[in-house]
Amino acid sequence: MTIKYLALALSVASANVYAEDEVVKLWSGDVDFGYTNLTGNTEESTMAGKVSVTRENKPWKWDVIAESLFSETEDDRTAEKYLAFTRLAYNFTEKNYVFGRATYETDKFSGYDYQSTLTAGVGWNLYDLETLDWDLEAGAGYRSSKVEDPTTGEDEDEPIVTLSTLVDWQFSETASFKQYLSYEKGDESDIAYSRSELKVQVIGALAMKLSYNVKYQSEVPEGSEDTDTETIVSVTYSF
């Protein structure tokens, strides 16, 4: 009888552990790939890729993003961009958290060899509902910008203050919308950024994603535009 009860207890414990493993999902993310190719009167190809990974084990949350974009017209490279981003957040209350983040961007057609930022601050979770999540962040840090050609501008190393917000809305069982806005105020230049994403599930873990990105910088190297926009259609695998 004792052996029977012991076996039953072990069975229940194993079932509980298994159930907990199913509920607690530490890792999640998306892998995006977009490609267009035009032939005939216009020879043009564009390829975009993005990997975003999140590890959440409350009260900690860690995000990592890597992006790339290439475009060629008539065998001439017209766009080449790389972006790396990481962010670590710690919730000290249910609705409040502190964070640190770092970004590194190189855009061969922006006039800069690279731009990097390192910031830290506090965040507030304004809404945390089943279908809607809304965060607001404020922080301070440092931005380093290195120009590609010294004759078009000067390298800049400057302190910055930042404001950002992220809205994640699951408005149906198969569709979601994300809106990210950020603003960096520096001594030499200001940067505003917007990222809008519409994601629609196709089948299983596969989805279609439409992204529209806008970046504005108040002061740029001579010969460069102050506003960049990107419209990307991609296939997404979620895990």
Residue-level pLDDT at 19: 40
Mean pLDDT score of the chain, rounded to an integer? 90
Question: If you average pLDDT over residues 29-56, what whole number do you get?
Answer: 91
Range 152-180 burial, b when 16+ CB lie within 10 A, else e: ebeebeeebebebbbbbbbeeeeebbbeb
Task: Tell me the per-residue pLDDT of 141-173, one tens digit each, with 9 for 90 and over.
Answer: 999 999 999 889 899 999 999 999 999 999 999
Percent of the chain with pLDDT over 70: 90
pLDDT higher than threshold 70 for residue 2: no
Q: What is the pTM of this model?
A: 0.85
CB 111 within 8 A of CB 153: yes
Specify burial of residue 197 (Cβ count, 10 A radius: 0-12, 13-18, 19+): buried
Q: How many CB atoms are located within 10 Å of the residue 140 CB? A: 12
The reply to whether 213 falls in a domain is yes
CB 185 within 8 A of CB 160: yes
Distance CA 123, CA 139 (A): 9
Domains contained in the chain, number? 1
pLDDT higher than threshold 90 for residue 130: no
Structural domain of 203: 25-238
The closest of 54, 51, 52 to 28, measured between CA atoms, is: 54
The closest of 77, 81, 78 to 69, measured between CA atoms, is: 81
For 211, residues 6+ apart whose C-beta sits below 8 A from its C-beta are 195, 196, 197, 198, 230, 231, 232, 233, 234
The reply to whether 7 falls in a domain is no
* Dihedral Cα 164, 69, 222, 148, nearest 10 deg: 100
Task: Tell me the per-residue pLDDT of 192-204, one tens digit each, with 9 for 90 and over.
Answer: 999 999 999 999 9
φ, ψ dihedrals at 150, nearest 5°: -60, -20
Give the amino acid at 136.
L
Confidence of residue 8 (pLDDT cuts 50, 70, 90): very low
CB 43 within 8 A of CB 74: yes
pLDDT higher than threshold 80 for residue 61: yes
- The residue with greater pLDDT, 5 or 125, is 125
| CATH number where 87 lies | 2.40.160.40
pLDDT higher than threshold 70 for residue 21: no
The reply to whether 16 falls in a domain is no
Residue-level pLDDT at 20: 43
Question: If you average pLDDT over residues 27-42, what whole number do you get?
Answer: 89
CB 183 within 8 A of CB 160: no
The reply to whether 79 falls in a domain is yes
Residue-level pLDDT at 103: 97
pLDDT higher than threshold 60 for residue 236: yes
